[in-house]
Amino acid sequence: MTATATTTTRSPHAAPEPIGTRAHLTFGRVVRSEAIKLFSLRSTWWSIGVAAALSVGISLLMAAASADFGPGFPPVMAIVAPMQFTMLVAGILGAIAVTGEYSTGMIRSSLTAVPQRGAVLAAKAIVMGVFLAVSSAVIFAVAVVATSGLLTPQIDWSDPAASTVPIAYGVLSMTAFALVGVGFGFILRNGAGAIAATVGLLFVAPIVVSLFSVFGTAWAWVTDLGQYLPMTASQTLTSVGAEDTVPALIALLAWVAAGLLGAWAVLRTRDA
Amino acid sequence: MIVAEGLTKRFGDTTAVSDVSFTVQPGKVTGFLGPNGAGKSTTMRMIVGLDRPSAGRVTVNGEPYRASRAPLTEVGVLLDAKAVHTGRSARAHLRAIAATHGLPKSRVDEVIDLTGISSVAGRRAGKFSLGMGQRLGIAAALLGDPQTLILDEPVNGLDPEGVRWVRQFVRYQAAQGRTVLLSSHLMSEMALTADHVIVLGRGRVLADAPLDELVAAWTATTVLVRTPRPSELVEALSTSGVTVTTAETGVLQVEGVTAAVIGDTAAAAGIPLHELTPTAGSLEDAYLALTGDAVEYRTADVTETHQEQS
């Protein structure tokens, strides 16, 4: 049996039906297009699958050991702490959603279909943000259910500050990390560069800053500034009984805003 | 209709497109010719707003492309077949583009059908052959049933059936009153497809004329003459200011005089003729004559190199 690829084109005289005058751009349609793009790539599902497996797996490990952690361990930490690792997946997913378009040339199709480049950026950010928010919420919910029999003590759901609030900030953080990746993706356009920048900011910068803590008071300003790094701000937000969360929240949102504004500045002026 | 006025694009020190002005008329297929690096692709990218002109402006149907509310219905563009994410299936790629304008899934299926890629539409675009990728790019360009088609090297990598389909399709589109701008390096194909040609060289417009006028202006009509008495014929013709070259014994290439004059001259002198064939110049001849000085990347003459080696 021979598999013949039927590539016979239809007669050009078979005119297509006229496209209605309703065919035009709207922002909602651009968002829908970006959602189709995100969901039609295997890498999206691979990334979120890896994030889910890592997150729930580490939660289970921590829950299994939680009885030995002593009274200082808030049980909700077992749910949000895996973010230290999954944040990288979120950031990288955000970055490659953009750089994948540049490396394949898809960006030219995207920007000729939607010449209003700000709309492309905004739609991509919204889709990526909502996707990470929803999937993180689902991942945390699965972790809560999976660890419920193991955690000692149990999460006290009657106290929001020790249960829902850290988890909600965890969802917000994952969303923010992905958007940081989106920003770097548009600014650098190159997969390796954007991933390096994202990993550098989220993962390496806090480690570098922590090195300075041993150098005494002369370098204390570095450690102080380090409080405003995305991951450190996120840790402040998701910790139980954090005193002053407002600066951390502003810092986290400012990183996202700065990244996306930088992305917009680059996207609107540079040739695609 | 595409109108370019004083269009200029500089990349650092190099000027890719320099003060280019032209009008691409509806109802015709306009061929866009020029050597590699002449600025054709850059010009096309500026038309659809991917590159910002350093100076000048270009409009499609009277307004800049970026200002359009429905760009896919204004212009269908194929810049290169690789403007597709390799990890996405052809159908998903087309659906994502169609979604920006609210075009229905049925339209996606139509263009898949029209371009003959239905059997591979579910496959990832990264696995496509050059020709299949080209068909997918054309399908994307047709999604909005656009008034204007801009196709950069559309037949590159296509099989003969595909080449003929593109030719018939763009001719049909032009006959419907639409605007078609088409680039290709295949001169014989262009000669069959285009009504009008714009030739770029080193970022400037070298020619902008109907195809037959261009060919007539840039090529000489030669007459091939076969005769057993060539030297007598050359002598008889020498009065009328013609140039004669001899390819082989008994065969003359006569330039600057019509076949009728040669025949009459030969008859008057009693010289027998075994063949008398006028050959018109081709688009390729005209193109090469026109762009001779404007070629950016020149290849060595094969015959000369060969002689040096032997």
Contact A24 B101 (CB under 8 A): yes
- Nearest-CA distance A110 → chain B (Å): 7
Residue B174 backbone class (left: φ over 0; alpha: ψ -120 to 50; beta: rest): alpha
Instruction: Report the residue from B86, B92, B111 with minimal CB separation from A104.
Output: B86
pLDDT at A2 over 80: no
Q: Which fold has domain B220-279?
A: Alpha-Beta Plaits (3.30.70)
Residue A36 — very low, low, confident or very high, per pLDDT cuts 50/70/90?
A: very high
Whether residues A112 and B71 touch (CB distance < 8 A) is answered with yes
Q: What is the pLDDT of residue B25?
A: 96
Complex ipTM value: 0.89
Lowest pLDDT segment from A34-38, A45-49, A131-135, B254-258: B254-258
Q: Is the peptide bond before B230 cis (omega within 30 degrees of 0)?
A: no
pLDDT higher than 90, residue B239: no
User: Which of A2, A10, A13, A19 would you mutate first to test chain B, the one with the most B CBs within 10 A?
Assistant: A19
pLDDT band at B299 (very low <50, low <70, confident <90, very high): low
DSSP string, chain B: -EEEEEEEEEETTEEEEEEEEEEE-TTSEEEEE--TTSSHHHHHHHHTTSS--SEEEEEETTB-GGG-S-HHHHEEEES-TT-S-TTSBHHHHHHHHHHTTT--HHHHHHHHHHTT-GGGTTSBGGG--HHHHHHHHHHHHHTT--SEEEEESTTTT--HHHHHHHHHHHHHHHHTT-EEEEE-S-HHHHHHH-SEEEEEETTEEEEEEEHHHHHHHHS--EEEEE-S-HHHHHHHHGGG--EEEEEETTEEEEESS-HHHHHHHHHHHT---SEEEEEPPPHHHHHHHHHTTT-SSPPPPHHHHHHHH-
Q: Is the pTM of this model over 0.90?
A: no
Grouping H, G, I as helix, E, B as strand and the rest as coil, residue A212 is helix
Task: With a cut of 50, say whether residue A3 has pLDDT above it.
Answer: no
pLDDT of B37 reads 87
Of all residues in chain B, the one with the smallest CA distance to A110 is: B97
Q: Which residues 86-115 in chain B show a CB within 8 A of chain A? A: 86-89, 92-93, 95-97, 99-103, 107, 110-111, 113-115
CA distance A248 to chain B (A): 37
Percent of chain B topping pLDDT 90: 69
Question: Is the Cα dihedral A6, A12, A18, A21 positive or negative?
Answer: positive
Q: What is the DSSP letter of A163?
A: T
- Give the domain ranges of chain B: 2-209, 220-279
The answer to whether the Cβ–Cβ distance between A6 and B89 falls below 8 Å is no
Q: Which residues of A touch B92 (CB under 8 A)?
A: 36-37, 40
Q: Which of A15, A36, A272 sits opposite B50 (nearest CB)?
A: A272
Which carries the bigger pLDDT value, residue B174 or residue A7? Answer: B174
User: What gap in Å lies between CA A15 and CA B176, rounded to an integer?
Assistant: 10
pLDDT digits (tens, 9 = 90+) for B176-210: 999 999 999 999 999 999 999 999 999 999 999 99
Centre a 10 Å sphere on the Cβ of residue B148 and count the other Cβ atoms it contains: 23
Which CATH code of 3.40.50.300, 3.30.1360.120, 3.50.50.60, 3.40.1530.20 fits the domain covering B2-209? 3.40.50.300
Give the confidence band of A10 by pLDDT, cuts at 50, 70, 90: low
Q: How far apart are the first and last CA of chain B?
A: 54
The average confidence (pLDDT) of chain B is 90
- Smallest CA–CA distance from A97 into chain B, residue: B85
For residue B89, what is the nearest residue in chain A, using CA coordinates?
A: A40
Give mean pLDDT, residues A202-226: 89
Q: What is the pLDDT of residue A7?
A: 57
* Nearest CB partner across the interface for B83, out of A18, A26, A109: A109
Largest CA-CA distance found in chain A, in angstroms, rounded: 80
Chosen for mutation from A112, A121, A270 (greatest number of chain B CBs closer than 10 Å) is: A112
Which chain A residues are Cβ-neighbours of B79 within 8 angstroms?
Answer: 108, 112
Cα A9 to its chain centre, rounded Å, is 43
User: In this model, does residue B302 exceed pLDDT 90?
Assistant: no
Region B88-101 average pLDDT: 97
B65 touches chain A (CB under 8 A): yes
| pLDDT tens per residue, range B67-77 | 999 999 999 99
Query: For A146-165, how does the pLDDT look when each residue is reduced to its tens digit (9 = 90+)?
Result: 999 899 889 999 999 999 99
Contact across the interface for B102 and A9, Cβ inside 8 Å? no
Instruction: Suggest the residue from B100, B109, B161, B165 to mutate for an interface test with chain A (most A CBs closer than 10 A).
Output: B100
* Contact call for A9 and B107, based on CB within 8 A: no
**Residue of B101, B120, B129 best to disrupt the A interface, most CBs of A under 10 A:** B101
Contact residues, B window 130-189, toward A, CB-based 8 Å cutoff = 131-132, 135, 140, 142, 144-145, 159, 161-162, 165, 168-169, 171-173, 176
Residue A38: its pLDDT value, please?
98
Q: Do residue A10 and residue B114 have CB atoms under 8 angstroms apart?
A: yes
Question: Does residue B305 register a pLDDT over 70?
Answer: no
B169 and A43: CB-CB below 8 Å? no
